[in-house]
Structure formats: C-alpha cells, structure tokens
Amino acid sequence: AQNGGTLALWGPDTLRLFVDEINISGEITDSDVIYVEDEGDFAPIKQRYMRASTEKGTGFGLLQTDMGEKVNLSLEKPYGNGKIQAVMFDLGRAYEKEPSVVLRRFAERQLAAFAGKAMRVIGSHLVLPLWMEKEGHTFINLLNIGGAHAEERQRSFDEIPPLYDLTVQISCNKPQQVVFLPERTVPFWSYDNGMLTVQIDRLDIHTVIAIE
C-alpha cells in the first residue's frame, strides 16, 4: 500500500496488528449479534469485531442490543500512495457459517476495491469468469457454479440450473471477430469506448468467449 495499491485487512485478529496505521483503538468486542447492512437490507451475524467508532466507515451494522447504535464494519484510509481497507469482523467465516445475500453483497463491495475494469459479468453472481491469453488472442472462460456445492449432505447432484440473459463487459482492443467456443457460433456483441459487450442468452455449464 505504501507504494500504491490496496492492502486488505479482514478480521479483528489481523487488524490488531495494524491499529497504528489505521488509527483505531484496537478494542475487540466479543460475539455481539450485529445486523450487517447492505443496500438497505440487513443480515444478522454473531461475530467478534473491532470497534472503529472514531473513523468514517464504508460499511456499517446495527447492534441487536441497541438497534439505534450504528457501528462501522469497514473503512478505508489512505496510506502512502495507496490505501488500507479494513473489515472489522471475520467476513469470510461469517459467510461460511451464515451465508446470505447481504453478506455476499457486502463482500463484493469490499472486493471491488481490488477489481480493475478488465471484465465484468452482469446478470448473475453464479458465473465464475477466467481470463486467458494465447497466441495473441483472448479467451474468456465462463463457468456456471450454480448447484448445491456447499451442502455437506449432498454427495452428488445431476442437474445444474442454466443461467439466462447474461452480459459480459471486457476491456480490450476492438476485435475483428467474437465467437463462442467450441461451437464457433457468433453472439450479439458491440464495442464502444474500449469496452466489448457480449450478450449470452443461456449458460448451461461452461462456454468460452474467443476474442480474435
């Protein structure tokens, strides 16, 4: 972060090592129920968190013990030529134990600080994109990760629901041709101001966008 970029510090045990750099007290509160907020929706978690009431936050929650008390759950501070991002509770563990749409959006907002403008998938959060370069061509692998992967009792499943009406935006030079592989069918695509936009009507399990 000193020379540019973003340093992410998630969870109270990590943050306590950087209290001077972040300029927070370092006080850790044990296992309060917090209602994490995102876009006006709330999700309850029971987590240890570090108090940062003196700093202006980028994300907040409400305490169950006093729903009028707002607590900062994430913040960003400039540091050298870059910045430090702090999440005051263990977001990964919270999502593993109590997954919810609110926590997923909260995490996406934190991770957006690291995302460049190279690629974006619109229409579903169940698409795993992978950028590949080979022999001067760009290949975007898109994988449908829907299904009961996180269900421990599920030994196998024989159906993955398809995803519909996806838009993929890719920052690149203007292509001569865009095709799906391996079929080599041509999708609807457009190019404007350095951004390629590809429309996908349906994604079953996997496809590749080849940019030539």
- Structural domains in the chain, CATH included, are 6-111 (no CATH), 119-211 (2.60.40.1180)
Is the Cβ–Cβ distance between 95 and 20 less than 8 Å?
no
What is the distance between the alpha carbons of residues 13 and 76, in angstroms, rounded to a whole number? 18
What is the structure's pLDDT at 51? 79
Name which of 92, 194, 196 is nearest 140 in CA terms.
Answer: 196
Q: How far is CA 176 from CA 120, 138, 209, in A?
A: 21, 12, 13
> How high does pLDDT run on average in the chain?
84
What is the structure's pLDDT at 30? 78
In angstroms and rounded to an integer, the radius of gyration of the C-alpha atoms of the chain is 21
Q: Which residues, listed in sequence order, are joined to residue 167 by a DSSP beta bridge?
A: 122, 199
Query: pLDDT band at 33, cuts 50/70/90?
Result: confident
Query: Which of 8-12, 27-31, 196-200 shows the lowest per-residue confidence on average (mean pLDDT)?
Result: 27-31
What is the distance between the alpha carbons of residues 109 and 40, in angstroms, rounded to a whole number? 14
Give the residue-averaged pLDDT of 110-132.
80
DSSP per-residue string spanning 59-123 = EEEEETTEEEEEEEEEEEEEETTEEEEEESB-HHHHHHHS--HHHHHHHHHHHTTT--SSEEEES
**How long is the chain?**
212
What strands, in cross-sheet order, belong to the sheet with 6-10? 6-10, 82-87, 66-79, 59-63, 28-38, 41-50
Name which of 39, 29, 37 is nearest 89 in CA terms.
Answer: 29
For the record, the structure tokens of 201 come out as 């009507």
What is the structure's pLDDT at 56? 65
Taking the CA atoms of 153, 101, 26 and 22 in sequence, report the sign of the dihedral they define: positive
What is the distance between the alpha carbons of residues 174 and 163, in angstroms, rounded to a whole number? 27
What is the structure's pLDDT at 204? 93
What is the structure's pLDDT at 92? 86
What is the distance between the alpha carbons of residues 58 and 183, in angstroms, rounded to a whole number? 45
What is the structure's pLDDT at 144? 92
pLDDT of 84 higher than 80: yes
Query: pLDDT band at 117, cuts 50/70/90?
Result: low
What is the structure's pLDDT at 47? 83
3-state helix, strand, coil in the chain (%, to 5): 15, 50, 35
Give the residue-averaged pLDDT of 89-94.
87
What is the structure's pLDDT at 67? 59
Percent of the chain clearing pLDDT 70 (strictly above): 89
What is the structure's pLDDT at 143? 93
* Euclidean distance between the first and the last CA atom of the chain, given in angstroms as a whole number: 36
What is the structure's pLDDT at 65? 60
Query: Which of 67-76, 132-141, 146-155, 164-173 shows the lowest per-residue confidence on average (mean pLDDT)?
Result: 146-155
pLDDT of 36 higher than 90: no
pLDDT of 55 higher than 60: no
What is the structure's pLDDT at 135? 85
pLDDT of 195 higher than 80: yes
